[in-house]
Chain A
Amino acid sequence: MTIEISLQVNGVSHKFAVSPTETLVDLLRRRLGLTGTNKDCGMGICGACTVMLDGLPVSSCILLASQADGAAVTTIEAIERDGRLSPVQEAFLRHGASQCGYCTPGFIITASALLAENPHPSRDEIVEALKGNLCRCTGYKRIVEAVESVARQGGPT
C-alpha cells in the first residue's frame, strides 16, 4: 500500500508515493539525497534530524512522510542563501559551535526557527529552544553564544 503525498522541499514541489511507515527523514535522505539531515536516535530525542515543517522545528525521524502531506519542509541545505552562509551558520563557524558537527544541522535549524519567530531571544529563551537538541562535543556553551551573537545583531536569519 502506498499513499500519495505532495511536499514542498526547500522551495521545490514534489509528489511522492510513500509507504505508510516511511519517515520524513528517510524520504529526505534516500529519495532527495538531502543527507545534511543526520539520523541518530530514531525516537525524536536527540534532534540530529531536525527540519523545519512550515517554519517550525520538528524531529523528522518520528514524523511519517504521510503526516507531512501538503507541508513545506526546509532542510539545512536551504539555509544558506545566494552563496553566502546565513547569519546563524556564520556565527556557528566563527564561534566554534560546531565540533564533530553531527548535531550541527539540527541546531542550526532549531536556532533559525527560533530567531525567525523571536529575533531577540534572551539567553534563557535560547537555552529553552535548544533543549531538544543533544550535543556531546561542545557542552552547549559556544552554541548558545553563537545564537546570542545573532540575536544581538537582530538581523534576519
Chain B
Amino acid sequence: MTTIWKEPDGEKFALGSIEEQAHWQKEYQRILRAVREEADATRPAERIGRDSHTVGMALPRNDALYKVRGKARYAANIPMEGALFCRFARSTEAHARIRGIDISEAKAMPGVRAILTADDIPADQLLIGTLTDDTPVLAKDHVRYSGEPIVAIAAETEEAAEAACLAVEIDYEPLPMILTPEEALAPGAVQLDPDGNVIGDLKLENGDIEAGLRAADVVVEGSFVTEPVDHCFLEPPSGLAFVDPDGVLTVMVCTQYPHYHHKQIARVAGLPMEKVRVVQTVVGGAFGGKMDNTVECAIALLVLKTGRPVRMLYTREEVFTATTKRHAMKIRQKIGATKDGRFTALDVEYLADGGAYRSYSLVVGGRCVIHTGMPYRFPNSRVHYVATFTNYPPSGAMRSFGVVKVAFALESLIDELAGRLGMSPFEIRRINGLVDGDKTSTGQVIHDVGLLKTLEAIEPIYQERRKALAAQPDDGLKRGLGIACLGYGIGYSGIRNPSTARMRVTADGVVTACCGTPDIGTGSDMSLAQIAAQSSGVGLHRVRVVSGDSTKTDDSGPTSASRTTYFSGNAAYICGQDFKRQFEEAVARARGVTAAQVRIEDDRIVIGNERLSFEDACRLISAEIEDICGYGKFDPEIEASILTFKGNPYPTYVYATHLVEVAVDAELGRVDVLRCWAAHDAGTIVNPTGAEGQVDGGVAMGIGQALWEKVERRDGVILNPHYRDYLMAGAKDVPLEIKSIFIQNHDRTGPFGAKGLAEVSLIPIPAAIASALHDAVGIRPKRLPMSTEYLLGLINERARAAAPAAKAAAGDGHD
C-alpha cells in the first residue's frame, strides 16, 4: 500500500507566505519600473509607459528574483519529509554479458529499503528511448558502456544508498569492445545492437556533384576531427518522486521535455497516463543534456516499490561518465569554386560516434545533413552521414545538434578557399550567401534572410580592427581576426512539432498563460509572458506563465532546437489574440453593445468613450469569466522526406556572422580570445537582456569547445570525469568584450517577427577562432579542441616547412 504524500507548497520557488509573496512581487515590480523608466529615456514617445507593449524591451526576469535570493527549487532543493535516496550501481565494464547480480549483501545493509533490477520490470516495459525504445531502464544481461545503470537502490540516506551500491556483486563476462566508428564498421565486428552497429546512414544529394567538381577552377579539401564534449550544466540531473493526495505518481524533475517523461514513465510503470504527472522543476542548465532519461524512471519505480517518496541527485562524476555527450565526429570535405569565387560543388562525409544507444544520433545526423552548405548556394552537393554504436556513453543532443562541427569544417575551408582565390573572407561569403528567394539544398525557398545584413554589420568592425592590429606595438604575441557565418533551422527537422498555449483569467484579474515548453534557464517564460501580454493587450505585470507540467500544460514538444520563442511564442501570440476576442465579446455582452465597440488596449478596456480598468472589467463579466479560455496552436507546415530530406524541413532560419580577435603566443601555443562581435538575424528580439545573455554564454561555450573541452576516453573509460580535468571556461578564460549585434530582421512568420537564438550563438565560434589562428600564425587547425599541444605542433610544422633545410637540420623549430 502506497502512502499518500502531500505535494510540496510552491513548486518552482520557495515563495513563502501570501504576505511575503505579495511583498516580493511588489519589490520586483519596483525594480522593473526603475528599469523601464531608464529604458524609456531612449524609446519613442508612443511606446513609453505602455504596460502591455514590452516586446523589444530589456527587462529583468521574474524568476531571477527568486534565484538571487536562493529560493529556486531545483529538484534537490524540494523539501519532502521521509524521502528515500536513490543511487545506481553502474557497470564497471564497457562491454560485457552480465552473468549474475548478487544483491544479498546490499539488501542486508542498514538503511536499505528497496533494490531494483531489470528483473523487477516486465520485459515489454524495460526499454525506453527518444526516437526508438532501445535503452533499458536498468541493464538486463548486456552492458554497453562503463557507467550504465544496472541496479537502483533506495535507502534512508545518500550514504547508505552509496554504500549498498558498492556491496552489489556483478559477475561480468567481458566482450570485445568497439571504441571507434571504424571498428564498428569493420567486417566481423562484434554486434552491439540487435539491429547491427549502424545507427543511421543518411544521404542528401543535390545537382550533379561530379559536374560541379569539373566546373571548379579551384578545389580545396580537408579532413576534420572533433572530440566529444560534455554539456556541463551546473545542476546534475535530479528528481523527486512521490504519490500525491489524488493517488497520482508525481515525478518532479529537471528536464527539457516533461511530456516525454510523462509517456515513458507511464509505460515503464505500467500505469495509465492520467495516474502519472511530470512536473518540470527549475532547471539548472540543460543545453540538450536533459532530454534523455536519467533519474526519472528509476525513482518512479522505487516509489511504487517502497511506498515512500524517493529522490535522486547525480554526482558530477556520474554526469561525466553516464550522461549523453556531443558526438565525436570525423569529417571529410571538398569544396569547388570558380576563379571568381562562385561555389560549384560541396562533397562531405561525416562519421559520427553515437555511443552505446541511439539517443538523438539520428536527429543530429538529419540536422548535420540538412545544414551542410548552409548558409550558401551550392548548386551541386553530396552529403553522407553515418553514425555507429560504440562502447561509450550515448551521444545525444547538445546545443546545435552537431551543426557546430558542420560549420567548423565548412567555414574553415571557405576561409582557405578565399585565401587561394585572393578574395576577402567577406567577399566570398557575399557572393555565395543565401538571399531572399534562394533555394536551400533540400529545395526549400527561403524568405526574410538576413545573412548579408549580418556580414554588413561585421565588415566595418573587421576593417577597423585590422587597422588597429597593424598599429599594435610588438609585444611578442601574434594577433589575428577570423569570421564565420551560419544559417540554422528553427525547430524539429522535417517533422511537424506544434506548440500550444492556453490563457485564462480569474475574477481578480490575474491572467495565466499555460505554455507546454519549459523554461530551462533561458528566460523563455519571461519572453512568452511579454508576447502573451502584447498580443492580448493586458499588462505584463498580471501575466503569469505556467510551463512544463504534464497536468497543467499541453505537450508542446521540448525546449530544444531554439524553438521556444518561435513555436511557443507563436502559440502564445495566437492564444493572446483569441483571449482578447473572447474577453472583448464578454464585456460587450455584459454592456449590451457590439463586440466591435469594445477593445482591450494597454491593460484597459475601452468601450466607446468609456475606459474601464482591467479589474473592473473582470468584475463586470464575473458571471462568465471562467468561460474565457484563449487557445493558440502553432503548427506550421513542415514537410521533408526522411529518405532524401527534400522539402521544407524548417519553418524559418536564423543567420549570423561572428568575428573574433585572438592573440597567440607562438612559442607556447597559447591562444587568448580577446574580443568577439556576434551579429545575428534572429528576427525581432523579444527581450534583449535575455538575448544578449544567450549570446554571451554561447560565445563562451564556443570558445571552450574550440580550445579546451574534450571528454578524454580510453579503452571504454572516461578519464577526466571532473571539472578539475575537463577544462570548462572560467571568468578569466573568456573575453568580457562580447558585443551582440541584432539585425532585427522582422520574420513574417514569427511572433512579432521573432525567430530564435539559443543555440546559434555558439555555432560559428570554433570556425571563427580557427580562421583567426590562420590569420595570426598561418596555420589551419582541423581538430576540436585546438589544444595547445596540437596548435604548437602545427606552428612548428609550418616553421620547419618554411625554414631553410640547414636550419631545420639544426633543430630550430621556432617561428
A90 within 8 Å of B by Cβ?
A: yes
State which residues 73-88 of B face A: CB under 8 Å: 73-74, 76-77, 79
Q: Quick check: B521 and A137 within 8 Å, CB to CB?
A: yes
Residues of A within 8 A of B521 (CB): 99-102, 137
State which residues 251-288 of B face A: CB under 8 Å: 282-287
How far, in whole Å, are A141 and B23 apart by their CA atoms in the complex? 30
Residues of A within 8 A of B731 (CB): 127, 130-131, 133, 135, 140, 143-144
From residue A21, how far is it (CB to closest CB) to chain B in Å? 8
Q: Quick check: A41 and B722 within 8 Å, CB to CB?
A: yes
State which residues 115-135 of A face B: CB under 8 Å: 123, 127-128, 130-135
Residues of B within 8 A of A90 (CB): 31, 68
How far, in whole Å, are A143 and B236 apart by their CA atoms in the complex? 22
Q: Quick check: A100 and B732 within 8 Å, CB to CB?
A: no
Q: Quick check: B730 and A40 within 8 Å, CB to CB?
A: no
Residues of B within 8 A of A3 (CB): none
Residues of B within 8 A of A157 (CB): none
B64 within 8 Å of A by Cβ?
A: yes
A31 within 8 Å of B by Cβ?
A: no
Interface string of B30-74 (1 = CB under 8 A from A): 010011000000000000000000000010110111011111111
- In the complex where A40-B236, A101-B63 touch, is A139 in contact with B722 (Cβ < 8 A)? no
Residues of B within 8 A of A100 (CB): 233-235, 282-286, 520-521
Residues of A within 8 A of B232 (CB): 134, 136
B494 within 8 Å of A by Cβ?
A: no
Stretch at the interface among B299-307, B426-434, B579-587, B696-704: B696-704
Q: Quick check: B723 and A46 within 8 Å, CB to CB?
A: yes
A36 within 8 Å of B by Cβ?
A: yes
Q: Which residue of chain A has the shortest Cβ distance to B700 in the bound complex?
A: A139
From residue A20, how far is it (CB to closest CB) to chain B in Å? 13
Of the residues A95, A102, A142, contact of B284 by C-beta under 8 Å: A102
How far, in whole Å, are A79 and B71 apart by their CA atoms in the complex? 12
Interface of A is mostly: loop
Interface residues on A, range: 35 or more
Interface string of A53-95 (1 = CB under 8 A from B): 0000000000000000000000111011001110001101111
Q: Quick check: A141 and B736 within 8 Å, CB to CB?
A: yes
Residues of A within 8 A of B77 (CB): 29, 35-36, 38
Q: Quick check: B724 and A102 within 8 Å, CB to CB?
A: no
Q: Which residue of chain A has the shortest Cβ distance to B316 in the bound complex?
A: A41
Q: How many A-B residue pairs have CB under 8 A?
A: 189
Of the residues B71, B79, B693, contact of A137 by C-beta under 8 Å: B693
Q: Quick check: A38 and B235 within 8 Å, CB to CB?
A: yes
B617 within 8 Å of A by Cβ?
A: no
- In the complex where A76-B70, A102-B284 touch, is A144 in contact with B736 (Cβ < 8 A)? yes
Q: Quick check: A37 and B60 within 8 Å, CB to CB?
A: no
Most B CB contacts (10 A, CB to CB) among A29, A39, A131 go to A39
Q: Quick check: B722 and A40 within 8 Å, CB to CB?
A: no
Q: Which residue of chain B has the shortest Cβ distance to A84 in the bound complex?
A: B27
Residues of A within 8 A of B481 (CB): none
How far, in whole Å, are A134 and B732 apart by their CA atoms in the complex? 11
Q: Quick check: B234 and A40 within 8 Å, CB to CB?
A: yes
Q: Which residue of chain B has the shortest Cβ distance to A39 in the bound complex?
A: B76
A17 within 8 Å of B by Cβ?
A: no
From residue B282, how far is it (CB to closest CB) to chain A in Å? 7
Q: Quick check: B697 and A89 within 8 Å, CB to CB?
A: no
From residue A130, how far is it (CB to closest CB) to chain B in Å? 5
Q: Which residue of chain A has the shortest Cβ distance to B691 in the bound complex?
A: A96
From residue B467, how far is it (CB to closest CB) to chain A in Å? 25
Of the residues A76, A94, A136, A141, contact of B69 by C-beta under 8 Å: A76
How far, in whole Å, are A131 and B736 apart by their CA atoms in the complex? 13
Residues of B within 8 A of A134 (CB): 232, 234, 723, 728, 730
Most A CB contacts (10 A, CB to CB) among B61, B523, B696 go to B696
Residues of B within 8 A of A34 (CB): 70
A11 within 8 Å of B by Cβ?
A: no
From residue A123, how far is it (CB to closest CB) to chain B in Å? 7
B734 within 8 Å of A by Cβ?
A: yes
Residues of B within 8 A of A105 (CB): 68, 70
Q: Quick check: B722 and A101 within 8 Å, CB to CB?
A: no
Q: Which residue of chain B has the shortest Cβ distance to A148 in the bound complex?
A: B736
Of the residues A39, A96, A127, contact of B689 by C-beta under 8 Å: A96
Of the residues A48, A96, A128, A143, contact of B234 by C-beta under 8 Å: A48
Q: Quick check: A43 and B234 within 8 Å, CB to CB?
A: no
Q: Quick check: B69 and A85 within 8 Å, CB to CB?
A: yes
Q: Quick check: B738 and A139 within 8 Å, CB to CB?
A: yes
How far, in whole Å, are A104 and B287 apart by their CA atoms in the complex? 18
How far, in whole Å, are A77 and B16 apart by their CA atoms in the complex? 13
Q: Quick check: B68 and A93 within 8 Å, CB to CB?
A: yes
Q: Which residue of chain A has the shortest Cβ distance to B24 in the bound complex?
A: A83
A138 within 8 Å of B by Cβ?
A: yes
B652 within 8 Å of A by Cβ?
A: no
State which residues 342-368 of B face A: CB under 8 Å: none
How far, in whole Å, are A128 and B736 apart by their CA atoms in the complex? 13
Q: Quick check: B74 and A102 within 8 Å, CB to CB?
A: yes
Residues of A within 8 A of B690 (CB): 96
State which residues 201-216 of B face A: CB under 8 Å: none
How far, in whole Å, are A84 and B286 apart by their CA atoms in the complex? 31
B706 within 8 Å of A by Cβ?
A: no
Residues of B within 8 A of A145 (CB): 736
From residue A77, how far is it (CB to closest CB) to chain B in Å? 5
From residue B158, how far is it (CB to closest CB) to chain A in Å? 8
Residues of B within 8 A of A76 (CB): 69-70
Q: Which residue of chain A has the shortest Cβ distance to B72 in the bound complex?
A: A101
Q: Quick check: B732 and A128 within 8 Å, CB to CB?
A: yes
Residues of B within 8 A of A24 (CB): none
How far, in whole Å, are A22 and B27 apart by their CA atoms in the complex? 38
A45 within 8 Å of B by Cβ?
A: yes
Of the residues B65, B74, B700, contact of A140 by C-beta under 8 Å: B700
From residue A29, how far is it (CB to closest CB) to chain B in Å? 8
- In the complex where A93-B64, A139-B700 touch, is A102 in contact with B235 (Cβ < 8 A)? yes
Q: Quick check: B285 and A75 within 8 Å, CB to CB?
A: no
B795 within 8 Å of A by Cβ?
A: no
Residues of B within 8 A of A130 (CB): 731
How far, in whole Å, are A35 and B730 apart by their CA atoms in the complex? 24
Residues of A within 8 A of B76 (CB): 35, 38-39
B692 within 8 Å of A by Cβ?
A: yes
- In the complex where A84-B27, A136-B728 touch, is A89 in contact with B734 (Cβ < 8 A)? no
B745 within 8 Å of A by Cβ?
A: no
From residue B80, how far is it (CB to closest CB) to chain A in Å? 11
Q: Which residue of chain B has the shortest Cβ distance to A46 in the bound complex?
A: B723
How far, in whole Å, are A48 and B316 apart by their CA atoms in the complex? 12
A-B pairs, top 3 by smallest CB distance, nearest first, are A36-B70, A100-B521, A102-B284
Besides the known contacts A45-B722, A98-B68, A102-B284, 14 further A-B residue pairs in the complex with CB atoms under 8 A apart: A38-B284, A40-B236, A43-B722, A76-B69, A76-B70, A94-B31, A96-B523, A99-B521, A101-B282, A131-B732, A136-B701, A139-B697, A139-B738, A142-B693
Residues of B within 8 A of A (CB): 14, 23-24, 27, 31, 34-35, 58, 60-61, 63-65, 67-74, 76-77, 79, 231-236, 282-287, 313, 315-316, 520-523, 689-690, 692-693, 696-701, 722-724, 728-732, 734, 736, 738
Can you sample 5 A-B contacts with CB below 8 Å? A35-B73, A43-B316, A90-B31, A102-B521, A134-B728
